[in-house]
Amino acid sequence: MSQELPYKLDGSGRLHGRVAVVTGSSSGMGRAIALAIGREGAHVVCSDLKAEAAQHGFEHDRAIPTHTVIANNGGKSAFQKCDMGKTEEIWSLIDFAVKEFGKLDILVNNAGLWLPLRDFVEETDEMWDAMMGINGKGCATSMRQAIKQFLRQPVDPKSGCRGRIVNISSSAGIVAIRREATYAASKAAVSMLTKNVALDHAKDAINVNAVCPGVVRTAMSSTNFNDPLIIAEMKKGTPWPRLGEPNDIANVVVFLLTDEAQWVTGQNIAVDGGFTVGIPL
């Protein structure tokens, strides 16, 4: 059994009864987001390349798949495999959510690709294609399919919208970070895509926002977090007196999905301990 706090089963959760898809949900930020959404009463479709968490991650309960953690705590959840680099699998993911739970209210685009740091000249066309294909095109495709479903649904009288999307971009999409050129370009694309899609579909009562994390301790970044020298450098660039944890991101994502954020759309919110504000002395 997970040590997570019990899920709200009394209908008081801020996302009670809503249906959410969270990509990249098996580990790290995606896992924290899926669990946080589940605690607020949403039915969660967890999606990733595999259900099992990365065992080199930092979650205390990583032996238990995310959707099982939610179910063990009394929530409703299911897993659907999806490679965000494959269009047909993205279509199937959205279809699965609707067939499983009857509708779709929320999409969180968290899945992404990051590669170890290297100078731009050392990057390859294959790296570019993979990064842009997953982080850029994959995000666009899933948003498009989700919006098609949202437009089949009426405006919900309680939430005041047809659906909500939160994309996980990056602080690297806001400021230049050495040795992350292609990754940064892909995340800048996500941030601008967020603004444009929000503008196109505000008239349809669809909220589209992005969260731009700073340095967060996850399995994907474990190469950095297992190196004391890199940790020291990351701390130098983060004004807040600690680096980030997945729940720091999940808490802001949940807010953007709640009715309190009904009038927030097209925003890229940096959650980074002040990283994008400036370099501390």
Sheet containing 43-48, strands listed edge to edge, beginning at the edge strand earlier in sequence: 77-81, 43-48, 19-23, 106-109, 163-168, 206-213, 268-271
For residue range 145-176, what is the model confidence (pLDDT) as tens digits? 999 999 999 999 999 999 999 999 999 999 99
Q: How far apart are CA 149 and CA 257, in angstroms?
A: 17
Two tokens, residue 191:
């941030």
For residue range 180-235, what is the model confidence (pLDDT) as tens digits? 899 999 999 999 999 999 999 999 999 999 999 998 986 565 566 667 777 787 78
Helices then strands (H, E): number in the chain?
A: 9, 7
Q: Which residue has the tokens 């474990």?
A: 222
Q: How far apart are CA 138 and CA 23, in angstroms?
A: 10
Which of the residues are catalytic? 183
222, HSE (Cβ side, Cα atoms, 13 Å): 12
269, HSE (Cβ side, Cα atoms, 13 Å): 21
Least-confidence region, from 9-13, 127-131, 270-274: 9-13
Percentage above 70 pLDDT, the chain: 92
User: CA dist 199 to 172, 173, 206, 264, Å?
Assistant: 23, 19, 10, 12
Instruction: For residue 143, report the phi and psi dihedrals to the nearest 5 degrees.
Output: -60, -45
For residue range 46-87, what is the model confidence (pLDDT) as tens digits? 999 999 988 776 677 888 999 999 999 999 999 999 999 999
What global pTM score does this model have? 0.94
Q: Which residue has the tokens 């959205």?
A: 94
Arithmetic mean of pLDDT, 88-101? 98
The pLDDT value recorded for residue 186 is: 97
- DSSP 8-class letter at 172: G
The pLDDT value recorded for residue 1 is: 33
Spell out the residues 6+ positions from residue 209 whose beta carbon is closer than 8 angstroms to its own.
Answer: 165, 166, 167, 194, 198, 256, 261, 264, 265, 266, 267, 268, 269
Q: Who wins on pLDDT, 39 or 54?
A: 39
Ordered by start, the domain boundaries in the chain are 19-271
Q: What's the CATH fold of domain 19-271? A: Rossmann fold (3.40.50)
